[in-house]
Amino acid sequence: MMLPKPRGAFSADVFEALRSGPSGLAEAQLPEAESPEDEAIALWSLYELHFRGFEDVEEDLEWYPAVLHLRGGLETELEARLRARRTEDAPDGDFAEAFFAFVEDFDGPSLARFVQTEADEEQVLDLLRMRSIYHLKEADPSSWVVPRLDTAPKAALVELLFDEYGAGNPNRLHHHLFARGLEAVGLRSEYGAYIDDVPVEILEQNNAMSLFGLHRRLRGAALGHLAAFEASSSMPSRRMAAGLERLGLDSTMIEYYTEHVTADAAHEQVAVRAICGTLLDQEPGLLEDVFLGAFTCLDLEARAARHLLERWGRAA
Ligand SMILES: [Fe+2]
Ligand SMILES: [Fe+2]
């Protein structure tokens, strides 16, 4: 993958500096970001140095101090914004019960319901392009949390990840299933292929997962995010599969979603009880961050859904 298109003067200068190597970055005088998306695409690209990197950026820059310094400033702003959006305290009582109720009661528009009943093929393809940014690296940001955990949550997280990564079979690996689905419906399947097309809401969704995954301090938020993601996936996956079937789209993409109907019904139990529950037994002080992660997952999905529904001329 090459660096994406800049979305303002700030990201343009960041990309120019990344392309010119260590000396370019050390000397760069960067302007203020012009817009949230100018900032978000820059941060997304800095995070990508830790995933697959870019053909036009030297691999060594991943750990270069000036890059980390720049990323750190953008992360401070992102984290402050995410924390400011969460205005309630974590609920009391039994954790798992409270967590499932929190996800269940969260009020946001459902793209899956729209796909099931009303969306046309163009809208579904548009949605799949948006989803491709995460689904082509599905589970990767959660993997960073593994070495940060002790026995019980670690064993449970690895059990869940084993499934996400195909349980030893590359053909069952979830991001590979999604890539094959993209090809089957006539879309591009290369990693990051649609990054220039996605709105700031999708960039922020992906940046939040990298932020939580890359910082040990935020392990509670990373796992709360994962648990909310799994707990809000099974029924929507059923709706997505039904919508794709209604439109007669290729069965390979439908299989990606039917796989998640059953997989995530199990994963939500593992993620909430065996991962977050045991983490909180060990470290009860992480409760607020677990709910911060869960809230962020649901809130950013709602923001992305509202954006897409508005773009399609549907009131969210
Ligand atoms: Fe998955
Ligand atoms: Fe899952």
Question: Average of pLDDT values for 13-29?
Answer: 88
Question: Which-ligand-closest: CA of 159?
Answer: 2
Residue 12 pLDDT greater than 70, yes or no: yes
| Centroid of chain to Cα 139 | 9
How much is the mean pLDDT over the chain? 96
Instruction: Say which residues have a Cβ less than 8 Å from residue 208's Cβ, sequence separation at least 6.
Output: 78, 82, 225, 296, 297, 300
* pLDDT value, residue 289: 98
Residue 315 pLDDT greater than 80, yes or no: no
Residue 207 pLDDT greater than 90, yes or no: yes
pLDDT band for position 136 (50/70/90)? very high
CB of 198 closer than 8 Å to CB of 133: yes
What tokens does 245 get? Answer: 């079937």
Question: Which-ligand-closest: CA of 268?
Answer: 2
The beta-carbon contacts of 177-181 under 8 Å, at least 24 apart in sequence, are 177/252, 177/255, 177/256, 177/259, 178/131, 178/132, 178/135, 178/136, 178/138, 178/256, 179/136, 180/252, 180/256, 181/128, 181/250, 181/252, 181/253, 181/254, 181/255, 181/256
Question: Which-ligand-closest: CA of 137?
Answer: 1
* pLDDT value, residue 220: 98
Closest among 199, 181, 314 to 254, alpha carbons compared: 181
What tokens does 91 get? Answer: 């609920």
Question: Which-ligand-closest: CA of 138?
Answer: 1
Dump pLDDT digits (tens) for 57-99.
999 999 999 999 999 999 999 999 999 999 999 999 999 999 9
Ligand 1 centroid from CA 24, angstroms = 39
Question: Which-ligand-closest: CA of 157?
Answer: 2
pLDDT band for position 316 (50/70/90)? low
Question: Which-ligand-closest: CA of 262?
Answer: 2
Dump pLDDT digits (tens) for 148-198.
999 999 999 999 999 999 999 999 999 999 999 999 999 999 999 999 999
CB of 46 closer than 8 Å to CB of 75: no
Residue 233 to residue 238: CA distance in whole angstroms: 9
Ligand 1 centroid from CA 237, angstroms = 10
pTM, to two decimals: 0.97
Dump pLDDT digits (tens) for 217-237.
999 999 999 999 999 999 999
Question: Which-ligand-closest: CA of 233?
Answer: 2
Residue 122 to residue 156: CA distance in whole angstroms: 39
Ligand 1 centroid from CA 18, angstroms = 32
CB of 268 closer than 8 Å to CB of 96: no
Query: In whole angstroms, how far apart are CA 299 and each of 211, 221, 235?
Result: 16, 14, 18
The DSSP annotation for 41-74 comes to: HHHHHHHHTTTT--TTS-GGGGG-HHHHHHHHHH
Ligand 2 centroid from CA 164, angstroms = 6
Tokens 């809208």 correspond to: 123
Residue 9 to residue 149: CA distance in whole angstroms: 40
Residue 38 to residue 28: CA distance in whole angstroms: 17
Ligand 2 centroid from CA 222, angstroms = 14
Residue 289 to residue 225: CA distance in whole angstroms: 9
Ligand 1 centroid from CA 35, angstroms = 32
Instruction: Say which residues have a Cβ less than 8 Å from residue 309's Cβ, sequence separation at least 6.
Output: 109, 111, 114, 315, 316
| Centroid of chain to Cα 129 | 14
pLDDT band for position 112 (50/70/90)? very high
Helix (H/G/I), strand (E/B), else coil: 287: helix
Residue 92 sits at the vertex; the CA angle it makes with 89 and 93, to the nearest 5 degrees, is 160
* pLDDT value, residue 96: 98
Ligand 1 centroid from CA 267, angstroms = 9
Ligand 2 centroid from CA 162, angstroms = 10
Question: Which-ligand-closest: CA of 232?
Answer: 2
